[in-house]
Structure 1
Amino acid sequence: MVSVIIPLYNAQEYMQVCIESVQKQTYSDLQILLVDDGSSDNTLQLARKMALSDHRVHVITQNNAGPGAARNNGLAHCIGEFVCFVDSDDYLAPNAIQVMLDAMDKEIDVVQCRAEKVYSNGRKDSDVWGNDKISLSNFEAMKDYLYKSKPIVRFAVWAKLYRRTVTQGAEFPSIKNSEDVVFNAYVISKCRKILYIPEILYHATVRDLSLSHCPISEQKIMSSMLCNELLRELIESEPLYKPLVGRIYWSSITTMEALIEQLLESDLNNKNQIKQVVIRKCADIKIPYKTLSFKQKLFKSIFQMAPVCTAKVISLIKNVIS
């Protein structure tokens, strides 16, 4: 059995397409968990209506706490041997679960399929993905995850099939963004092998108001910093990942620089206020110098002295190159 977790929040306009794509899977032994995250529209009523016509559909309710908490709630109710997550505005290819199940073997704990972004104007984009199957060991997967902006195991929890045993004990932290990043890192740390397959089986709808595309804010900055702290704790706690410690420290700098670039491009009314928060947080970043190369040490010193100016220069260089 496969347990499918779908968090719902004010999703009445598009949830039916998502849920029906799961119900119509060629693999039918499913537990479909609809977790309503305190919706204020007709989402809960629609979910209960769909549950009446399909015994595999189960509705779980909670006060509004965000998609991470909703997924944790779903995980607590899972009974399947395998688990997958689907966002309420996305949908699966008809054979998605069957193809990922067929790719599983006794040593594989996560299967990552290819995903396609679907835009409101009808444009589709499958991003940069490999065209061949790729099998990764635990260490290989974690190194790839930490070193690349578009790793083989993508940061989002969708477009994957997890063996439920590797999700047990892992949970989505109480932060407003990047909770997927932390969850997947903990899962990778428990995996034996991870397999990427090149089939496009997941369709991710890109909406301007989706949580992953929300504007920069003080809350987003704090969440990103906490994400880095949680990842650092995980990497430092595992002797196997000792060679990766330097990278996780360095990412605290690169993450803040990227956030400042977003802030500079935004039109927020409180931009200056948030900028001061960022400058204070940048000054507080502490990285053991022994984990950095000479170039990284130099960049860290310059960035912490003048984070906004540094981000402006980097943004300008990017624009010139592009």
Structure 2
Amino acid sequence: MAAEGVRAAPGKVRRAVRRRLAASNPVLTVVIPVYNVAAYLPECLDSVLGQTLSELEVIAVDDGSTDSSPEILRDRARRDPRLRVITQANSGQGIARNVAAAQARGEFLTFCDADDTVPPRAYAHMIGVLRETGSDFVVGAARRVAAGKNLGVAFRDAHLVDRLGTTIEETPVAMQDIIACNRVVRTAFWVDRVPAYRGHIAYEDHVPGLAAYVRAERFDLLTNVTYNWRVREDNTSTGQQKANLENLLDRIAVKEEASELLLAEAPPAVYAAWVGRCLSVDFPPFLAHGLVGNDMYRNVLSATYRTFLDRASTETWLAVPQVNRLRGWLCAQGRWSDLAAVDERIETRGRLPRTEVRDGLVLAVREPSLADVPDELWQMSEQETGLIAAVRSVHSPAPGTVRISGFAAIRALDCSHEDPQTQAWLHDPSTGRTVPLSVEQYADPAANVWTSHLNASYDHAAFHVDVPASELGSNPDATWVLHLKASQQGVVREGTVHAAVEGSAGHHLRPVEVGSGSVTPALSGGLGLHLTVSPDNAGSGDELADAVLRDVELTDGTLVLTMESPDGRRPAALRHETTDLEPTYVEPAHLEPAYAEPVGDVEPGHVEPGGDVTRIGFGLADLPDGDLLLGTPDSLTVAPDLWRRLPVALTSGDPASGDPASDDLASGDLSVAVLVRRTRQLVLRLSRTVHS
């Protein structure tokens, strides 16, 4: 043990020396305002000081904390010289940021709230982008997290693709994202061009964030997540105080200040886009509180909506999501009972309504109780009805061929009555060459698992295209981007593919062998799904591990797994992840006899050479809702033919599934989605629909 300590000492010394050198000559200054966040602060500091970019100066401003936050800061500062602590009387987050930013020594500057965390490579990546582009600042995507769960990317439309060296005139959607902490800015630009944060007001980051967009010569928007934005379980953050009138008044005051800035410095089109942002993003969260608020709160909110509706042009108004347009108009009219009914529908059926197409326009189906509402409030925005597409797998079904499988549809259009007609082609931006592709479309209920839209069916959104490898040539510098166009009921949308189907092999893309070379598929923020050619074989990714899942099916009220492992070992249980993260175990209901049914030509009890096939059943009535992890003593993989079909959707109680509901399920249907997580962990996701 003593010898190990001696060997470890040089490493500790080297790390200490590196930290002192980094503190003396920082590349990046990180500002962290701190006020009574002892429960979150250690995790925040670990994430910032643990960055792959070590040349940091971290300035934490203790804003008069009364909990153990000061002790946490002092202890960490003693151990890491890159952390400097400033103490001040409680003055608010904005003033704390200003005090620290004025002392920044780094070439670059960023902010981090003390209850949030930063992905390990975020700062290195953003500074690398800025050094490449020369832009004034870069904005990464912020991921919302709550109780350890990923809630998705905030302001997603601003981060669908990488936009490098852009301007606010070219990319007004950037104004959707004006929070302080998911960006890195050149310190000189911040000091010279961005106004200081206001003190003693909520939402103090909005005006500086907006001014940075307007005054920058160029900025960068990234698809990469660079910030983990926590939703506090104790509901104590500024954004969680919207029920308070003072919070609403602060939001209004900040928006009026922003309006003056934009009218003075921005083109009319940018101002119009900002008004749309206010109606789409800033004020809708207050509507739910208006439903239960007093007359003063309601009157202020109604007056605010009337003001912004007067500021909105027709084009701006129609760019606001339909449900926000309808809810905002009802608020402006003081029709609170109608607004409550709309919100109840959203709660039960989701934000995306049932739609119909008339004269080439996609309209929400008018609710009978709102017959007097103007027609323009039912028109869906183009953003709401764009192309939605995702890759499911990329593999080789035959020598010399690459097959791309996925889903593509027009968002909000039901496929039950008319299938979307999909066209596809590959395009190499460097040469301008295009390769048309033949599309095969087919029905697959897993498409509805992918979209999770309750008011539209996408069963017929599944497709695959076969790409002859010979068409791609052998140039390793060529980049073949997949383009899709979907047509349905006279509505046409097109675009590229920027997502993988959740739970599918699309999250685990690997090179595909094609003759003497290989084709490598990849997803990137700028290009979307694209293929590159390599003359060397890189493997198809179809190698099997010790334990293999061959198939999953529902029969007679039983979930049946067909497994293969060399020595006949079987999974002992399905593991259920409960909300408190304490696992419970569900034992198989039908393990005896071990080989209850033949599998293909494998007789019960027979061991094939080199493998042992077993069918294992779990009674559906015994399984809880939620994600069930398949527990196995082996490293589990999924057989190639099943892997390419993930996610698989099965439903008990649906005659189309071939599995009539058992007595145990007579009161409802059980849906089973077989998914693979990004960690390659196999998941069986169960959910019940109870019939009244």
Task: Indicate the TM-score class for this superposition, using the shorter chain for normalisation.
Answer: 0.7 to 0.9
Residue 161 (str. 1) matches residue 189 (str. 2) = no
* Structure 1 range deviating more: 80-89 or 123-132: 123-132
The one of 71, 78, 85 equivalent to 1:52 is 78
RMSD: 3.3
Aligned to 1:185: 210
> What percentage of residue pairs aligned between the two structures are identical?
20
How many Å separate the matches in 1 of 2:104 and 2:114?
18
Task: Decide which structure has the larger Cα Rg and report it.
Answer: 2
Q: Where in structure 2 are the equivalents of 1:128-147 lying within 5 Å?
A: 128=156, 130=159, 132-140=161-169, 143-146=172-175
The one of 310, 313, 318 equivalent to 1:292 is 313
Residue 205 of structure 2: SS of its match in structure 1? helix
Residue 4 of structure 1: SS of its match in structure 2? strand
How many Å separate the matches in 1 of 2:273 and 2:128?
35
- Matched AA of 1:72: N
The 8 Å contact of residues 114 and 201 in structure 1, kept in 2 or not, is answered as: yes
The 8 Å contact of residues 117 and 228 in structure 2, kept in 1 or not, is answered as: yes
Shift of residue 250, structure 1, vs aligned partner: 5.9
* Structure 1 range deviating more: 132-141 or 88-97: 132-141
Shift of residue 228, structure 1, vs aligned partner: 1.2
Residue 168 of structure 2: SS of its match in structure 1? helix
The one of 256, 263, 267 equivalent to 2:289 is 263
Change (3 A) 1:303 1:118: closer
How many Å separate the matches in 2 of 1:177 and 1:141?
29
- Matched AA of 2:314: S
Aligned to 2:50: 24
How many Å separate the matches in 1 of 2:122 and 2:283?
37
Residue 83 (str. 1) matches residue 109 (str. 2) = yes
Aligned to 1:220: 247
Residue 178 of structure 1: SS of its match in structure 2? coil
How many Å separate the matches in 1 of 2:184 and 2:274?
26
The one of 236, 243, 263 equivalent to 1:236 is 263
Shift of residue 16, structure 1, vs aligned partner: 1.3
Shift of residue 222, structure 1, vs aligned partner: 0.7
The 8 Å contact of residues 146 and 230 in structure 2, kept in 1 or not, is answered as: yes
How many Å separate the matches in 1 of 2:341 and 2:134?
47
Residue 92 of structure 1: SS of its match in structure 2? coil
Residue 126 of structure 2: SS of its match in structure 1? helix
How many Å separate the matches in 1 of 2:95 and 2:50?
27
> How many positions carry a matched residue from both structures?
309
How many Å separate the matches in 1 of 2:170 and 2:111?
20
Change (3 A) 1:145 1:97: closer
Shift of residue 5, structure 1, vs aligned partner: 0.5
Change (3 A) 1:251 1:54: closer
Query: Which whole-Å deviations, capped at 9, do the CAs of 1:226-277 have from their partners, x for residues lacking one?
Result: 1211111111111x423333444566666786255121455xxx63442244
Change (3 A) 1:302 1:216: closer
Change (3 A) 1:260 1:311: farther
The one of 334, 337, 345 equivalent to 1:306 is 334
Change (3 A) 1:87 1:253: closer
The 8 Å contact of residues 136 and 218 in structure 2, kept in 1 or not, is answered as: yes
Aligned to 2:229: 204
The 8 Å contact of residues 260 and 311 in structure 1, kept in 2 or not, is answered as: no
How many Å separate the matches in 1 of 2:223 and 2:74?
35
- Matched AA of 1:223: D
Residue 117 (str. 1) matches residue 137 (str. 2) = no
How many Å separate the matches in 1 of 2:316 and 2:114?
44
Shift of residue 35, structure 1, vs aligned partner: 0.8
How many Å separate the matches in 2 of 1:212 and 1:242?
29
Change (3 A) 1:242 1:218: same
Higher helix share: 1
How many Å separate the matches in 2 of 1:278 and 1:200?
33
Residue 54 of structure 2: SS of its match in structure 1? coil
- Matched AA of 2:121: N
Change (3 A) 1:189 1:48: same
Shift of residue 81, structure 1, vs aligned partner: 1.1
Shift of residue 282, structure 1, vs aligned partner: 5.5
The 8 Å contact of residues 31 and 60 in structure 2, kept in 1 or not, is answered as: yes
Aligned to 1:96: 122
Change (3 A) 1:231 1:89: same
Shift of residue 211, structure 1, vs aligned partner: 2.3
Normalised to the residue count of structure 1, the TM-score between the two structures is 0.81
Highest relative contact order (Cα 8 Å, sep 6+), 1 or 2? Answer: 1
Query: Which whole-Å deviations, capped at 9, do the CAs of 1:10-51 have from their partners, x for residues lacking one?
Result: 111221121122222222221100011111112122212222
The 8 Å contact of residues 112 and 196 in structure 1, kept in 2 or not, is answered as: yes
The 8 Å contact of residues 330 and 336 in structure 2, kept in 1 or not, is answered as: no
The one of 29, 40, 45 equivalent to 2:66 is 40
Residue 80 of structure 1: SS of its match in structure 2? coil
Query: Which whole-Å deviations, capped at 9, do the CAs of 1:289-322 have from their partners, x for residues lacking one?
Result: 7x63399599999864536467546646745626
- Matched AA of 1:134: R
